[in-house]
Structures are given as structure tokens and as C-alpha cells.
């Protein structure tokens, strides 16, 4: 028993100081890590960084401080920390190679959250998909299509492709193409189409509607009826514009022709 207490006392004398220093370092480090995390989060919120990204960077900063504190505690006991740094570096390279695609999506997610080319509830067309943005996470962007399908797109594809933000502007223009008969008077046709455009429910007067003479087609004179609408009302206004154009041309007796082909048969004299 005396030998046990002698060993215990010798161990306490040898390691008691380093243990107390390590405990004090851990305690102070834990407090500092919490302070750094809170300070980082407040700074990111003031900079209007997305909350998801702000929380991630806050945790990253906090655990970074704790990692440094842990290495400092190991050095108190005489552990060579340079070897740990080499191991961490090698592990980082291996993990980076193994998760190359995932890290690419992660980096793209950070860029999307920082630069904000679109927001939640925006309608976007990206990577061949059209839908309303439901969520922007660090790795994926979630879309809901208009026929109620859920599309999850990796952020690497989103950030690496052309992004069309359909609802970015408050107003959109509905274009309706229509062809009329060559027999119809040009000026009368323009007046009829303008009256139809101005009568569209939900259409805006500023900017005012426009009637554009597009070209002379094979079987029709082609026009474009352009009506501005609020972005939220775009679909309804376009439908109403098509209806108004058709009814106005019918009421005015202006024909909407369909493609025609004239076939001429030539009689051949077989006795020649």
C-alpha cells in the first residue's frame, strides 16, 4: 500500500502541474471558443449573410479554436504537435479527393448564399428545370415545379450553369404571336389588336401595350401583341391576351389564315 501511495505521489508531482495547466487551458479555450462563435455570428448577421451559412461558419470558427486549444494541451504534456499537423494535412487531402464532388457542391452553396442570384419563393429556370425555389442549402437547391414535382439539384450544377430568375423583376411582358390574312388592312388590324391589348384584364397601362408588325409569312402577315403584367399575374394575363386577340379579330371580320398549299396538275400529251 505504501508503494502505491509513493507511485501516486510521484505521478502527481510529475504530471500534476501539466494536468492543471491543461485543464485551465481547456476551460479558457472553451470560453474563448464560445466568445469567438458569438462574435462571428453577430458579425455575419450584421453583414446580412444567410442564416444557414452564418451558423455553419460560426461552428467552424468555434471548433477551429477548440482544435488549437487541444493541440496546445497536448504540447503541455510534451507531445509533438507537428506530427499531428502533418496527419491532419494528409487526412484533409485524402478527404478532399474522396469528396471532390461533395465539396464542389458545398463551395457552390456558399457562393449561392453569399451572392444571392435568387431567393426562396423565386421562380427560376436552371440546369434544365423550371420551378419555385423551396430551399437553398449548403449542398443542394430544392425546386417545386408547377405540376407539383419536387426537384433537388446539386449546387454545383446550379452555380455552374446559366440561371434565369423568372420573377426577379416585378413586371413581365406577355407576347402573343398571331397571323392575319394578306387581305386585311394593315392599319385597321393594328387598331383592332391595340384595342384588344388595352382591354386585357390585369394588363398594365405603364408600360403601355405594344403592337409589333413582325414579318410577312408564307400565308399570313405576322403580328406580335405585347402586354405588360405583374410577375405574379403573368400566366393569367397571357391567357387573357390570347383570348382577347382571337375575339377581337373575329368581331372585326379579320381572318386568321392557316398554312395552305396550292397544287397544280399539268396535263401531259403522251402522243407527242
pLDDT digits (tens, 9 = 90+) for 72-116: 777 766 666 565 666 666 666 655 555 556 778 888 888 888 888
Are 57 and 44 in contact by the 8 Å Cβ rule? The answer is yes
Mean pLDDT of 24-40: 83
List pLDDT tens digits, range 252-271.
999 999 776 667 777 766 55
Cell of 145: 415545379
Are 53 and 110 in contact by the 8 Å Cβ rule? The answer is yes
Range list of β-strands (E), the chain: 123-126, 129-136, 140-144, 150-154, 164-165, 171-180, 210-216, 221-230
Same domain, 217 and 158: no
CATH number, position 204: 3.30.70.100
What is the rounded distance in angstroms from the CA atom of residue 85 to the CA atom of residue 52? 29
Domain count within the chain: 3
Question: What's the confidence (pLDDT) of residue 54?
Answer: 73
Burial class (CB in 10 A: 0-12, 13-18, 19+), 114: exposed
Same domain, 187 and 156: no
* 64 located within any domain: yes
Q: Which domain holds residue 133?
A: 116-165
List pLDDT tens digits, range 140-166.
999 999 999 999 999 999 999 999 999
Same domain, 156 and 180: no
Question: What's the confidence (pLDDT) of residue 196?
Answer: 97
* 241 located within any domain: yes
Are 7 and 13 in contact by the 8 Å Cβ rule? The answer is no
* 265 located within any domain: no
Question: What's the confidence (pLDDT) of residue 65?
Answer: 83
Question: What's the confidence (pLDDT) of residue 270?
Answer: 59
DSSP 232: G
Same domain, 153 and 78: no
Same domain, 88 and 49: yes
The HSE-up count of residue 45 (CA atoms within 13 Å, CB side) is 9
What are the distances in angstroms from CA 38 to CA 7, 60, 96, 98? Answer: 45, 12, 29, 32
* 205 located within any domain: yes
Amino acid at each position: 500500500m505504501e508503494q502505491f501511495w509513493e507511485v501516486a505521489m510521484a505521478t502527481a508531482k510529475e504530471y500534476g502541474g501539466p494536468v492543471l495547466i491543461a485543464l485551465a487551458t481547456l476551460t479558457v479555450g472553451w470560453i474563448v471558443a464560445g466568445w469567438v462563435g458569438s462574435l462571428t455570428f453577430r458579425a455575419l448577421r450584421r453583414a446580412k449573410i444567410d442564416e444557414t451559412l452564418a451558423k455553419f461558419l460560426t461552428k467552424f470558427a468555434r471548433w477551429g479554436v477548440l482544435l488549437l486549444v487541444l493541440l496546445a494541451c497536448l504540447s503541455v504534456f510534451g507531445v509533438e504537435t507537428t506530427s499531428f499537423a502533418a496527419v491532419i494535412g494528409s487526412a484533409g487531402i485524402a478527404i478532399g479527393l474522396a469528396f471532390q464532388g461533395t465539396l464542389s457542391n458545398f463551395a457552390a452553396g456558399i457562393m449561392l448564399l453569399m451572392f444571392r442570384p435568387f431567393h426562396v419563393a423565386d421562380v427560376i429556370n436552371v440546369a434544365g428545370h423550371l420551378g419555385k425555389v423551396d430551399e437553398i442549402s449548403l449542398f443542394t437547391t430544392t425546386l417545386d415545379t408547377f405540376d407539383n414535382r419536387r426537384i433537388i439539384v446539386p449546387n454545383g450544377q446550379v452555380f455552374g450553369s446559366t440561371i434565369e430568375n423568372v420573377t426577379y423583376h416585378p413586371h413581365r411582358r406577355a407576347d402573343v404571336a398571331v397571323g392575319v390574312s394578306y387581305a386585311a388592312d394593315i392599319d385597321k388590324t393594328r387598331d383592332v389588336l391595340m384595342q384588344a391589348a388595352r382591354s386585357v384584364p390585369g394588363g398594365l397601362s405603364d408600360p403601355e401595350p405594344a403592337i409589333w408588325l413582325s414579318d410577312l409569312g408564307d400565308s399570313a402577315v405576322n403580328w406580335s401583341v405585347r402586354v405588360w403584367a405583374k410577375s405574379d399575374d403573368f400566366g393569367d394575363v397571357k391567357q387573357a391576351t390570347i383570348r382577347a386577340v382571337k375575339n377581337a379579330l373575329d368581331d372585326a371580320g379579320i381572318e386568321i389564315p392557316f398554312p395552305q398549299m396550292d397544287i397544280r396538275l399539268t396535263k401531259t400529251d403522251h402522243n407527242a
